[in-house]
Amino acid sequence: MKFKKENYEIMADVLKAMAHPTRMFIVEVLNEREECVKDLTKMIGDDISTVSKHLSKLKSAGIITSEKRGNCVYYKLVCKCVMTFFSCVTSVIEK
């Protein structure tokens, strides 16, 4: 048992933040470039308030950060390593 119970909770929160189809999509887009809420919303097709809430969940997990520029809020990935999830998840699915 490498970590304490409390640590598992913190770690699970990070995974939980990623564990949603829309949020995985967002992470993948942000891996390539910053985007603002409006443009992400266009790609996703949900209500903009829904997208905003997904973003805020990713942000409070520490996976993305935001920056306001002009009229818009731009989000970007903090750590590219989350993209390793995709290849692992894909290989799990293939097995």
Interface residues toward a second copy, by CB under 8 A: 1-3, 5, 8-12, 14-16, 18-25, 28-29, 43, 61-63, 78-79, 81-82, 84-93, 95
| Helix ranges (DSSP H) in the chain | 5-18, 21-32, 37-44, 48-60, 83-94
Q: Which stretch binds DNA (CB under 7 A): 24-32, 66-74, 84-92?
A: 66-74
Interaction of residue 72 with DNA, rule CB under 7 A: yes
Least distance in Å: CB of 50 to a second copy?
15
Q: How far apart are CA 24 and CA 86, in angstroms?
A: 9
Q: Does the protein bind DNA through residue 18 (CB under 7 A)?
A: no
Distance of CA 34 to the CA centre of its chain: 12
Which range of residues in 25-33, 70-78, 83-91 is near DNA by CB under 7 A? Answer: 70-78
Binding test (CB under 7 A) with DNA, winner from 14, 73, 78, 86: 73
Q: How far apart, in Å, do the first and last CA atoms of the chain sit?
A: 27
Q: CB-based contacts of 46: which residues, under 8 Å, 6+ apart? A: 22
List the single partner that 47 binds among a second copy, DNA, none, CB under 5 to 8 Å by kind.
Answer: DNA
Residue 74: what residue type?
Y
